[in-house]
Structure 1
Amino acid sequence: MRMAFSSEWLKLRSVASTYYALGSAALMMLFGVGWTIYVSSLAEERGSLRAAAPEEGFLPLVQISLATIGVLAITSEHATGMIRASLTAVPSRGTLLLAKAAVVGGVTFVAAHVVLLVTYVAARLIAGDRQLGFNSTGFSDDLPLLFASGVSVTVLALVGLGLGAVTRSTAAAIVSVVAMLFVLPGIATYLPQPWNSRVASLMLPNLVPQIAGDRLSSRLGDGLLSPGVAFVALISYALVALAVGFYFLWRRDA
């Protein structure tokens, strides 16, 4: 297992796509600074306003950017045929997928939280004493949402890894991740009551605020989950995707 982990870590940090993905995620910090400067100038004219927190508004950018790390960790090997060499070096397909998941999960967890925290701190420093809405609470109150947001990025990266093992296609896996973030939550709102709120509460984008104890402005009604249940549901996305990915990796020839 240690050899497999070292091999996966070497592969991940030796390809340019990893740094492109990290760079795309880091754009959140620049966008967050630009957004805060913009709303701060508006606040000076109006006295105060309620603006979206940049670490929340630009979260999908980080999620999609780092999810590609999980996707490419396996689809790039299928595309180049390197998967055969990987399976020769690590005959157990379960060990191979677990090593990939550990490396992808560790890298995206650290990267996501660094980007989120830097964006959070920079936005509050720029906002200063201006009343922008998102800077009305302290760090201790915002920490659960920051943590849940970072975990959601890691979960999506692992979902991307699992879907990559299923589809063997970079495009198909990324489109599937995007659908989970933007398409399925929209479809859930068209379901009849009370199923729309119950299904919507299980959609990945809605789990992050529920973990932080946010009532989502009552949009979910009776479908609201407790923070603990929402956290389990979020982790389940990764576990199910990896389990399905392992099944397809196990059943197919390289």
Structure 2
Amino acid sequence: MTSKNIYNKNDEEMYEIDKKIISLIKKRMDIVNSFQQFHLIDEPYLDAVLNKNLEKLKLYSYEKDLTMMFVEDVFRKINEYQWEKRKNIVLKKEILSLSQLKIEHALESDLDEILLLQKICFEVDISLFNDFTIEPVKSTKEEIIDEFKNKTILKVVYKDKIIGSVRGHIEKNICQITKLIVHPDFENIGIGKKLIESIENEFNKCESYEMFTRKESYKNVKIYKSIGYVPYKEELFLEKYNMIYLRKSNIV
């Protein structure tokens, strides 16, 4: 069978290809989040699922007469999770203690770096939900400058690089905690919890603390619950996002 360059396909077939790519990437993210939700990272099972996806993709490519380069490129994207987890193992050995990390107030000169980090962190949501209109990804320099003037922004610094951040402000004696971000290479080592603890300390006279996230973000919900946050409402935001709101009372 003679392979054809995928860019010579007609629009309808390209549409089907794009749908397949999005479907596979979403499948990978669903698998990752499911394991993170239940803390059942089972390497043999995960490998089997990924390999099954590869076989399905190869079969699809033969039917559509696609190049193997295209197939392997998609599989590489599916398999990125394994490499990310490997990076985390290395980092956990390198960062023996969170005391090596500095959490401090962000400066106005930090805003470009924090905005870039924010967009990197929320790219996961783009892959998971196939949504390029997510507010944190669309945020502008002007918007983060306005937040800097009206909110407290903390940053985590490691080897002179900002690898995490969080924002907080008071509304009716309630601390609203927003845009908690940690660079993907530094996830799962406790930085997020440390940031929440730090922003809580900044507003230690308030009545309570509140956070929100997508209901489908199982990992976030589990982390927030583990440090005392309790879900108190769910609502549909912009007619398409299932949001869950969590609250924790402040014992003064």
TM-score, normalised relative to structure 2: 0.30
Higher RCO, 1 or 2 (CA under 8 Å, sep at least 6)? 1
Larger Rg: 2
TM-score, normalised relative to structure 1: 0.30
Higher helix share: 1
